[in-house]
Amino acid sequence: CSESDLGPISLNWFEELSAEAPP
Amino acid sequence: DVAEQWTPVLLDGPTEESLQLVSKLKDSSNSCAVDVSTMWWEAGGCREFCVVTACESSVSLWKPLASDRWHKVYTWQVGEIPVIQIIPLPDTGNLVCIALGDLEIAEIRLLFCSSENDSFKQSLVKTGTIKAVLGLKGRRLVSSSRTGQEQQVEIVWLSETGRSKDGQTLMPPEETVLAFAEVEGMRDALVGTTTVNDVVVWNLRTGQLLKKMHVGYSYPASICHRAYSDSGLLFVVLSHPHAKESESCGNPVFRVIAFNPRTARSAAVVFSSLPAGHSGRQVLGKIHGYLEGDVQDASAAAVLTSGAVVVWDLLLGRCTALLPPGPTGHWALARWATGSACLLAGQRDGTICLYRY
């Protein structure tokens, strides 16, 4: 899997999505 | 003689990946077996590996004796509604849950055995139209249920006497959740699969629905079994109950899909297909579909409609062992023992064989 297939990868995706998602 | 006839057939797998028959137990009640699982019996700081078997009207706890023999310690009678599933609770001793119902789960009960005074009890955890349920680490149970158009996704904490007062609701997706999986390496994350082939991700601490990621319709009714977080990606093991052997490519029974939760894009990593080709047909004799399966770490086991049990290494995407139908009947159940490299294969007559993998 590469970023060209999957888009930019973030090691902190869980924290980032938690900060963005509705409470 | 029976043990010899049940020696597994290896499909080009290394020797160390073979299945070795360790022991066998059989319920003498002649009831139709519906599920099998394992549980830790904890007493005096020691842990003992136990087997739990279920038929429609009762659930039994088996403890090991010397010489690979098993002793039925207790049988919980459950009454009118049939048992349809055992729900193991990982990392929790002396507790196991069961699902009761007809076509759908109508009730979840907790079965409890006290190691101090050998008392055995059962208590009601939840009722409703329950679509999916999973035992989580830390004495928790997550379930999805429907009331009319409303879907509830709920976590309950379990005490020794049943459900605790405190519970937590997770934000439900619009579509019905059909299966859950904990995310290894990420304690607060939970994934689920829905009726429209979405993989959804929750934050268990806050109850937030973080992401919906579409799997695609090529393989409908995907069921999630396990998930792993690594290097910014979410790897999800999906199974496809309607897989059928195909001449051209062989439909995968299990797929490991890598999701980038930031973009919701995905890529297939490894396929694990039904045994196909000459060697598979020689062994099995006919084309077969997939009935049900279980995944632990990188190992998957499934019962095929032919009555065989197949084991795959999900990282290699390859069958590593196959149990042909036994002399007394077809296999109907295949479960990994919690926290050990042991496979439980069961037949409808209540025969359970334990294999070291």
Given this model, what pLDDT does residue B281 score?
A: 38
* Contacts of B268 by beta carbon, 8 Å cutoff, 6+ apart: B255, B256, B257, B258
What Cα–Cα distance (Å) separates residue B317 from each residue in B87, B274, B313, B347?
Answer: 27, 10, 6, 26
Q: What is the pLDDT of residue B115?
A: 72
Top-confidence range, B75-84, B107-116, B213-222, B297-306: B75-84
Q: Which residues of B touch A23 (CB under 8 A)?
A: 206, 208
Which positions in chain A touch B189 (Cβ < 8 Å)?
Answer: 14
Which residues does chain B have within 8 Å of residue A1's beta carbon, measured at their own beta carbons? 233, 258, 267, 269
Contact assessment for residue B19 and residue B6, using Cβ atoms and an 8 Å cutoff: no
CB contact under 8 A, B263 and A7: yes
Q: How far A4 CA lies from chain B's nearest CA (Å)?
A: 10
Sequence-ordered list of residues with C-beta below 8 angstroms from that of B203, at least 6 positions apart, any chain: A14, A17, A18, A21, B188, B189, B210
Nearest to A7 among B188, B260, B269 (CB): B260
Q: Do A8 and B263 touch (CB under 8 A)?
A: yes
How would residue B352 be classed by pLDDT, with cut points 50, 70 and 90? very high
Contact B262 A7 (CB under 8 A): yes
Residue where the block lists tokens 């888009």:
A7
Chain A residues touching B188 at Cβ < 8 A: 14
Q: Which of residues 128-147 of B touch A (CB under 8 A)?
A: none
User: What is the distance between the alpha carbons of residues B213 and B82, in angstroms, rounded to a whole number?
Assistant: 35
Q: Write down the pLDDT at residue B220.
A: 66
CA distance B347 to B157: 33
pLDDT digits 0-9 by tens, B332-350: 999 999 877 899 999 999 9
Window 21-50 of B: residues touching A by CB (8 A cutoff) are none
Smallest Cα distance from A9 to chain B, Å: 6
Q: Which of B201, B211, B265 sits opposite A7 (nearest CB)?
A: B265
Cα(B65)–Cα(B79) distance, rounded to whole angstroms? 29
B203–A1 C-beta distance less than 8 A? no
Whether chain A has a CB inside 8 Å of the CB on B187: the answer is no
Are residues B50 and B94 in contact, defined by beta-carbon separation less than 8 angstroms? no
pLDDT at B290: 64
Q: Do B210 and A14 touch (CB under 8 A)?
A: yes
pLDDT digits (tens, 9 = 90+) for B244-271: 544 444 567 899 999 999 999 999 899 8
Mutate one of A4, A10, A17, A20 to test the B interface: name it (highest B CB count within 10 A): A17
Q: Which of B188, B211, B265 sits opposite A6 (nearest CB)?
A: B265
Query: How many CB pairs below 8 A link A and B?
Result: 62
pLDDT at residue B177 in the model: 96
Q: Is the pLDDT of residue B78 over 80?
A: yes
Between chains, do A5 and B267 touch, taking CB under 8 Å as contact?
Answer: yes
CB B262 to CB A5 under 8 A?
A: no
pLDDT of the residue at B289: 62
Query: Is B265–A8 a contact, with Cβ atoms under 8 angstroms apart?
Result: no
Strand order from edge to edge, sheet including B83-87: B83-87, B95-101, B105-113, B120-136, B140-147, B150-159, B162-170
pLDDT at B30: 76
Report ipTM (2 d.p.): 0.93
Residue B77 phi/psi, 5-degree rounding, is -90, 135
- B55 pLDDT above the threshold of 80: yes
Answer yes or no: is pLDDT of B114 > 60.
yes
Interface mutation target, options B263, B265, B269, chain A, most CBs of A under 10 Å = B263
User: What pLDDT digit, counting tens, does each position of B185-227 carry?
Assistant: 898 999 999 999 999 999 999 999 999 999 877 666 789 999 9
pLDDT of residue B242: 63
Q: What percent of chain B has pLDDT over 90?
A: 60
Q: Do A21 and B203 touch (CB under 8 A)?
A: yes
- pLDDT, tens digit (0-9, with 9 covering 90-100), for A1-23: 556 689 999 999 999 999 999 88
Chain B environment of A16 (Cβ under 8 Å) = 262
Q: What's the pLDDT tens digit per position in B275-330?
A: 754 233 333 334 446 667 899 989 999 988 888 899 999 999 988 998 888 777 89
Q: Evaluate whether B108 touches B89 at the Cβ level (below 8 Å).
A: no
Tell me whether B200 touches chain A (CB under 8 Å): no
Predicted pLDDT of residue B293: 85
